Structure 1
Amino acid sequence: MAQKSIASPSAKAGEMGQQSAASIAGQGQFLLYQTADAQTRVQVRFHEDSIWLTQTQLAELYQCSSQNITQHIRAIYESGELEEDATCKPYLQVRMERGRQVHRSLKHYNLEVVLAVGYRAKSHRGTQFRRWATEQLKAFLSKGVLLDDERFKRGDDAEYFEELLARIRDIRSSEKVFWRKVLDIYATSIDYAPHTETSQQFFATVQNKMHWAAHGHTAAELIMQRVDAQAPNMGLTNWAGASQGAPVRKTDVGIAKNYLNAEELDTLNRIVTAYIEVAELQAQSHQPMTMRDWAQELDNFLRMTRKDILTHTGKVSADTALAKAQAAYAEYQAQVRNLPSPVERDFEAAIAQSVNQFQKSRKALPNKKKGEQT
């Protein structure tokens, strides 16, 4: 069986209709299941490590009526075979009705229900789908992402593909990943010796050349200029855990990349990604290369891309920049500790609300004339 799978941030066919990535944030990816004979084609949702389908999609999958699906699901829950709370969830769907988009919350059933219904419906499609779903779940658990190469090659979901490429570039330019790739490449140098001062200086030179080409500063100069204990997030624009709402950590403030704006970050990511590709291609030629040769290759690459080439060590040392960043972090943390906690802010808000209500109630009381008794 040659079933196809598609992961996309937007649903473009069948029951889903047109839907933007923003409208499904936090509701998973969409996958397209299609049998080899193309008789069964169902768009399903992948979320929370499971496959989710509506009753209508179940009817399409097992090629039976919606009434039969309803009866099977009712029997499954009434018999206690599965618990509804654990296997059924509402998800927002956008459908075209009479030429306009309509948002509806529809019940979706997870893979356990899908397979249980397939057993009761006695459909061979259930066996096919179970195999496909198992493959998709294994792929996600091992890779953390589901992709359809053929759909991307056709140019479908171009916006999502560009976003995915941007994320990959950002990951590749992270210091941990970048240095691992650089280490693999430069370890082929005939004069390479790990943990020597020469090697460390060489890595710093490579990093600074790329930063200079992206924004005109060395890594240390950038940190020195932009770290600020008084600024929001100390002047950092991105850091590990930022997307999950995690605060700035001490290890974040010494990374120059974390201070770049969106345009600078995109430029650096592209330079790093392109250079790694060029360097890997050069390494495949198996020509003897010294570390100086590799440095020259970087200059040649930057000239080809018409970027400025760093010819000096910079005005600020790495130790000086790191010392300033860590001192600023200590000052920043002291300010954060002095701020009221969320519980304290809630308590203060509750007190203020009580005072306002009391004042309003006093104003609402009738004014008593002089001599009147209470």
Structure 2
Amino acid sequence: MQNQELKKGEIVIYKAKGGPKLDVRLEKDTVWLTQKQMAILFNKGVPTINEHIKNIYKEGELERNSTIRKFRIVQSEGGRKVERNMDFYSLDVIISVGYRVKSKQGTQFRIWATRTLKEHLIKGYTINKKRLLQVQDSLKNLQEIIVLLQEKSKHELLAGQEREILNLLSSYAKTLTLLEQYDKEKIPIVKKAKGEFVLRYDEAKEVIDRIKKELIAKKEASDLFGQENAGKLKGILGSILQTFEGKELYPSLEEKAAHLLYFIIKDHPFVDGNKRIASFLFVYFLDRNNFLYKDSGEKKINDNALTALALLVAVSNTNEKEKLTKLITNLLSV
């Protein structure tokens, strides 16, 4: 007999040793056969099968409504394909008919069907349990982000940023909705991006120098802006590319960008301007990887949202790193 991975409404092949081969319909946690298929299975005529089924219902052994249903099938008639609504009978009916015709094939089919249904139920339970855990994890993440944003919004540095914080929360919740829709097979999941551009130290320094000149010309920065502390920037740029046992710690473009922003703000590689430099390099890194904009043409994270994110990172505790980088990563994935 042949075992196959099962899905609801799937056709499963039954083939007993020395017996017939049947296309068995699996639906509603049971198996279904037509009278013609039962006639083949039990090696009896269709009229005999029909008579036994009539008696099963007449004697009240089984209830008709719960053990019979119609399926639309395609069959060949006179050299052409024709769709017909056919009566199919559940395993309870099949077993009952098998007992009445005293068929050895009926016993074999009952054993096969019971095992097949058990496998189907176990697989269905495993899939549903996995989905439940994924939903629970998503809700837990959302709850943690809500608590984090509520706490940090009270900080004096974030005064006036309430609207942007709400927008961040709304965008983050949208990513969880998309994940839930994917889990229910409603939309295709957007795979994490793989960027080709790597931000090297010398290029980063050139970008910072250009920004510094522009800001000084506007009288928005001093000479201390962008002065590096003991080679810290080089270490940060190296850290987002680090590997462990041949695998990148931050394999996706979104994760690299999120950690670039986070590390520059939290590790203070510069005497002055860490938040602004982190934001500029974050945007530059995404732009060079053609990942700054959505298909609609708007930025994945607009300037106001980026300002709020930078401030959130700045006032966060070190044990909140994973939550914040996950927030940024998901915002980039929408």
TM superposition score normalised by structure 2: 0.46
TM superposition score normalised by structure 1: 0.42
